[in-house]
Structure 1
Amino acid sequence: MMNNDQSKLLRFIYEVGFAIDDVVLYLDTHPCDKQALEYYENYKKLHKQAVDEYTRMYGPLTDENVYSGNGYWAWVKSPWPWEGACK
């Protein structure tokens, strides 16, 4: 079960991810818009920081964050969805 801080961080990750997806669509038609490119870079950094923090505190969100070369597949450390992780 998620605590309040975990839920807030996950929501922030989703919101920043949405902003990135949105600006990517805009950049497809406006590839030279410097303001949009700066916005994209800023939100990309925010997203990485938030995902890194979430991974450090609660475990990986994607397979990109599961293995860090430490000899351990990190997804097995926390409960699976059918074990109550998605309540």
Structure 2
Amino acid sequence: MSKATTESCKKMPREQMLKEIQALEFALLEINLYLDMYPTDKRAVCQYNVLSEQMNILKTEYQMEYGSLYNYGEFPSKYPFDWVKTPWPWEL
């Protein structure tokens, strides 16, 4: 993601950021499955790396703004612990 894209993430509404993260996770899963069969496909590896970087940046921005995406210690929690108050995936 470019600096301009990163800046726009900060202004993105919570639900939009979550949907973008979900889309990137889905795309990465699909590319991963493809690479299981075709591990020497250079274009697919490059695409995987680009999307992975974008997802990591977006997840970091989301967690800094709204709190943890996962409840098992991937990102430090703010006080008070408010994991149960965040929207569930099916509530989006």
For Structure 1 versus Structure 2, the TM-score category normalised by the shorter chain is 0.7 to 0.9
Map 1:1-87 to 2 at 5 A: 5-62=13-70, 63-67=72-76, 73-74=77-78, 76-78=80-82, 80-81=84-85, 85-86=86-87
Task: Report the Cα offset of residue 75 of structure 1.
Answer: 7.5
TM-score with structure 2 setting the length: 0.72
Separation in 2 of the partners of 1:54 and 1:21? 20
Secondary structure in 1 matching 2:69: coil
What does the per-residue CA deviation read over 1:27-60, in whole Å, with 9 as the maximum and x for residues that have no partner? 0000000000000000000110010000000001
**Letter of the 1:77 counterpart:** F
Unaligned runs of 5+ in 1: 68-72
Question: Deviating runs (4+, > 6 A) in structure 1?
Answer: none
Unaligned runs of 5+ in 2: 1-11
Task: Report the Cα offset of residue 6 of structure 1.
Answer: 0.2
Separation in 1 of the partners of 2:54 and 2:37? 24
**Is contact 2:63-2:69 (8 Å) kept?**
yes
TM-score with structure 1 setting the length: 0.76
**Letter of the 2:64 counterpart:** R
Identity %: 24
CA 1:75 to 1:39, structure 2 compared with 1: closer, same or farther past 3 Å? farther
